[in-house]
Amino acid sequence: MPTTYRPYDPDQLLLLPASLKEWLPEDHLAWFVSDAVDALDLKAFHARYEGDGRRRQPYDPSMMVKVLVYAYASGVFSSRRIARSLEQDVAFRVLGADNFPAHRTIREFRQLHLSEFSALFVQVVQLAREAGLVKLGRIGIDGTKVKANASKRKAMSYGRMGEREAQLKAEIEALSRQAEQQDAAEDREHGPDRRGDELPQELARRERRLEAIQAAKARLEERQREQDRQDGRQQDDEGNTRGPGGRLCQRAFGQPEAGAQDNFTDPQSRIMKTGNGFEQCYNAQAAVDESGLIVATEVIDAGNDGHHLVAMVAATKKNTGALPQMSLADSGYASEVNFAALEALGAVACVALGREAGKKPRKIDPDRHPATQRMADRMATDEGQAHYRRRKVIPEPVFGWIKQAMGFRQFSVRGLVRVNGEWNLVCLASNLRRMHRLGWVAA
């Protein structure tokens, strides 16, 4: 008997209009994202387009939000790839409902509404809290390095800036003399109306480079002055720099170390140590509930986590309306200032005081560091150790989902304000993926 195949006719016309409901299974993530976004307040997104008298109708913001959130949840971050997916991917076409915005439109919508996406992240956290998905029994606080939208090869150290600045000044002076001599010679030979363009172009190029280096030096010096003020350093009447105890410092106030770097592409990003060596990065912070839902976020421009423990606990309370029963963090967040501030906030935490396991605990002066001593006493108990053993299994899997499953390893935007907005969009998408798995149903 001849083989009988299932019917296959690529030229078959549809006699009835196709329903989008038939294109995806009922439990598909795209339907969940659509229902979740419909349950959120999008007034802030619509407000930008109301009463502006546009001749060309803008795309519906709710459609754009659904497409962007689903794109991030499924690991598509490039505006060009999103635009291409709207034409080729069934789930994207369902959410777009046969709208095909250009990649520039998608990129501009994302950049324009980054603050609104941050507010949307908070809305989702509050919905999860009301639904009972966020318990706030224990939260884990940690940070992960995410590459900036800038190359580390576009960075220069403060010491190198000084050398290059002097070199460029000498080159500009030499080119200026050469240009004057050439102009004078051409004036004598051809008259005053004749001039060449090569040397002025070289001068302009070097002058632009000199201006960029001088601006970067000024940023590093201002950053160092602010750091010195935070560390208690100050200048005396004779211009000397003194530390908090009055000790004379060798380095001048506001004088960066020779190795301090600034990036010309994204000046607010920093060189940070990662698992792949040193990269141009931001430090993305997250407070994660035991449910796997992110309840607070922040992106910082420092590789050290230490100054942001209290801010993350306070943000958790602001976003959810309650303090967690227990906050967990590694030794990177340990300091007397942090512990005292947590106690003043009424927050209970277990924070490691050292990295080495099996070694004697470090000596603590209870008179100078009473809050640190109280933390050491808590960590020495069986209950404290039981709490702390849960730390790794709370935030680190979420960072793994974001970087591996979703594939988010580099920001698409530049500057601290914008990367904070994009990080909130990433965490919003991660939360919706998790809520989909937990079976939450949008009301």
Q: Provide the H-helix boundaries in 346-415.
A: 370-379, 382-388, 395-400
Site of tokens 């318990």: 135
Q: Are 303 and 260 in contact (CB under 8 A)?
A: no
Measured distance CA(353)–CA(330) in Å, rounded: 8
Inter-residue contact 232 to 197 (CB < 8 Å): no
Matching CATH number, 133-151+268-414, of 2.60.40, 1.10.10, 3.30.420, 3.30.1890:
3.30.420
Contact 357, 389 (CB under 8 A): no
Secondary structure (3-state) at 396: helix
299 bridge partner residues: 284
pLDDT for the residue numbered 20: 72
Contact assessment for residue 333 and residue 141, using Cβ atoms and an 8 Å cutoff: yes
Q: Cα–Cα distance between 157 and 164 in angstroms, integer? A: 10
pLDDT recorded at residue 134 = 93
Nearest Cα residue to 331 out of 391, 383, 374: 391
Show pLDDT as tens, one digit a residue, over the chain (443 residues): 666 656 756 677 666 667 777 889 989 999 999 999 999 999 999 888 877 655 567 889 999 999 999 999 999 999 999 999 999 999 999 999 889 999 999 999 999 999 999 999 999 999 999 989 999 999 999 999 999 998 877 666 656 656 666 665 666 666 666 666 666 666 555 555 554 444 567 667 666 666 666 666 676 666 667 666 766 677 766 666 777 666 777 667 666 676 666 677 788 888 888 888 888 999 999 999 999 999 999 999 888 888 889 999 999 999 999 999 999 999 999 999 999 999 999 999 999 997 645 455 668 888 899 999 999 999 999 999 999 999 989 999 999 999 999 999 999 999 999 999 999 999 999 999 999 999 887 65
- Whole-angstrom CA distances from 358 to 34, 355, 361, 364 are 51, 10, 9, 18
Tokens of 348: 């209970």
The pLDDT score that the predictor gives to residue 115 is 93
To the nearest 10°, the Cα dihedral for 183, 187, 190, 195? 30
Q: Tell me the pTM.
A: 0.81
Per-residue exposure over 239-265, b if at least 16 CB sit within 10 Å of its own CB, e if not: eebeeeeeeebeeebbbbeeebbbbbe
Residue-level pLDDT at 16: 60
Helix (H, G, I), strand (E, B) or coil at 140: strand
DSSP 170: H
Pairwise CA distance, residues 354 & 131, whole Å: 38
Instruction: For residues 128 and 135, give the distance between their C-alpha atoms in angstroms, rounded to a whole number.
Output: 9
Domains in the chain: boundaries: 20-112, 133-151+268-414, 155-263
* Three-class DSSP category at 139: strand
